[in-house]
Amino acid sequence: MPLHGTEWADRYGTPTPLGATWLSEREAWNFSLVSRHAQRVELLLFREDEPGTPALIREMAFPDNKSGHFWHCRVAAAEAPGAFAYAYRVDGDNVGHDAGWNRFDPLKLLLDPYAKAVWFPPGYDREAARHAGANAGKAMLGVLPSPGGELLEPFDWQGVESPRHGADLVFYELHLRGFTAHPSSGLSRETRGTYLGLIEKIPYLRDLGVTAVELMPVFQYDSSDGNYWGYSPVGFFAPHAQYGSGASPTAHVAELKTMVRELHRAGIEVILDVVFNHTGEGGADGPTFGFRGIDNASYYLQSADREEAYFDVTGTGNTVAINDRFVRRMIVDSLLHWVGEYHIDGFRFDLAAVKARNPDGSLNLTDPPIVGDIMAAPGLQGVRMIEEPWDAAGVKQLGLNNPNRMGMQWNDEYRDCVRRFVRGDGGNTRELADRIAGSPDLFPPTLEYAKRPFQSVNIVTCHDGFTLYDLVSYSHKHNLANGEDNRDGLGENYSSNHGIEGDEGLTKEIRLLRERQARNYHAILMLSAGTPLLLAGDEGLRTQGGNNNTWNQDNELGWIDWGRLEANASHREFLKRLLALRNAFPTLVRPTYWGGDASWYGLDGPQRFFDEDRALALRLTGRDGESDLYLCLNAHSEPLPFTVQGEARRWRIALDTSGGTPEVQVPGADGPFTRSPIEVAGRSVVLLIGSSA
């Protein structure tokens, strides 16, 4: 007798949804996995107390359990009492495919790419994944959504809605573990470096004035590989379990949601740094966790050279085939999962230029399919999409070169220009005017493109490079802790030690100059059109001892020292007042470019942009009764007189970075009146607020 409807599904499963799904009305799981080239697929279920011995093995047999490229089955809970986790074994032909070659191993346990949580059993061994053969009891496993389990437990969002910031949007980039792992954080040993630990620092974030945290990767990765930053995901749906409290194997799922809820309650958006361009499986000699063993030729870009194995434009050994149709679906499903399940407000795409790669590795710079898929997904409308618009192979898609016309982009042109000017290089005031104005040359506000200044995410420092203090304290990198040679020169764009490398032998004069330069960087950042990004710890002049790449430093070098932040509380107070100043004057932050309201000057007249220029002035005319602003920038080592240009006004000093002690702070709009010309100290920034009274 033929099977119909639910009877067919009960016996053979369904191809959708992908992953492991609990069907409460059937008291069963549905499993679905995509593999174009597999010839045999097995599902294995495990109990928590016996991770090395399957509680059930179910073959997904062709033709009953295969539809197109989907392998699927259904398992009743009664068939595997106490089942907690699952994995696959996949076999097939490793040569002869037009799409490339595969790496099937019929004995290897493989993680489901759609696993919503990952469990590392006590016997987990990364090396077992690097070599051929069985690794039962040593492999990471997907956690089953089970009745009474935390993956199915409804979360109480308590009616807290996601905030949505506009002119006051300020990103604060932090590493979730490194932010609170240091003993000086004042947290208990149990909560340091965890989702719950970040909750305890929300009052600090609110006091500082940031409105969005940008979390470095929280996708699950293998901590045993030494990659502290987490840019080595093993799956795109599961949060990193090791940032949880460890109360249970899946407690971290609810703890991450709790963290997001409490940040939202405080009016702070949550942005995730997501890595879809490569995985933690690395190059040909790397471990096989899942993707490689499930369908290597589909998930990764293949090299034409069999010895190279992978087409690598990420610098990690592999590159995900982002524009493969099933990979595109997985990425969109992942984004929808994080928005729907965790209420995430936006995503920063690591090495986003990889999205321009076709499945054969060639470039589609104008309309890569994944961009359209993301833009068209109904559940992603209004979600912030932020791009690191380059890859490790030299492709750069900043501004109009980026096919994501509505997204935001990290602006490294802003970073390099501001660094050159503050260091005193000279000759770039014309470009500096564009960068301060929101980079309209890169994001043109024309009828055709209608770009907006907020699309430029202005960075001076970020996780990848020197901290702010190190930027003004070191002329070359000091990465011996990473096993790197320090003798290769600068190693960091446009840094300066201002006389002494590091802090050994530091004089008061150099210390004060460094602190002034740090104030200059933050002042220019906050007085620029565009969206500013702050690196966590820069508000307290955090140092990494000149290390510009702490990707493998899960220690005090890579953590934030809260004692140092307190010792440099004056700079934090300065930055707080800068943020308040930025928010107090809508003249600065507009939804459109300044246009004709901005006039650029030199010391005593219109700016002519000479090559030797190290000074620049901006007069910004207020709208609708708002105050005029006059910004003076002096990168010379000596003081210079600035003659205030334009319509007469009475001018108050709102900001002056030249204070002789680190306690100097932004005085606000009620500062004393000053007369033109105004003397601006060497290496200083001064902001005047105009009044017609």
Catalytic residue numbers read 350, 388
Question: Can you tell me the distance from the alpha carbon of 517 to that of 511, in angstroms, rounded to the nearest whole number?
Answer: 10
Question: Can you tell me the distance from the alpha carbon of 65 to that of 40, in angstroms, rounded to the nearest whole number?
Answer: 10
Question: Can you tell me the distance from the alpha carbon of 451 to that of 68, in angstroms, rounded to the nearest whole number?
Answer: 42
Question: Can you tell me the distance from the alpha carbon of 349 to that of 356, in angstroms, rounded to the nearest whole number?
Answer: 13
Q: Are 385 and 406 in contact (CB under 8 A)?
A: yes
Q: Which amino acid is at 647?
A: E
Q: Which residues, in sequence order, are CB contacts of 264 under 8 Å at separation 6+?
A: 160, 161, 162, 163, 270, 343
Q: Are 559 and 412 in contact (CB under 8 A)?
A: no
DSSP element (H, E) containing 177: helix 176-180
For residue 346, which phi and psi values (nearest 5 degrees)?
A: -175, 170
Question: Can you tell me the distance from the alpha carbon of 132 to that of 411, in angstroms, rounded to the nearest whole number?
Answer: 44
Q: Which two tokens stand for residue 600?
A: 């650029």
Question: Can you tell me the distance from the alpha carbon of 200 to that of 179, in angstroms, rounded to the nearest whole number?
Answer: 11
Q: What is the 3-state secondary structure (H, E, C) of 67-125?
A: ECCEEEEEEEHHHCCCEEEEEEEEEECCCCECCECCCCCCCCCECCCCCCCEECCCCCC
DSSP element (H, E) containing 463: none
- The alpha carbon dihedral of 272, 273, 279, 281 has a sign of negative
| Alpha carbon 575 to chain centroid, angstroms | 22
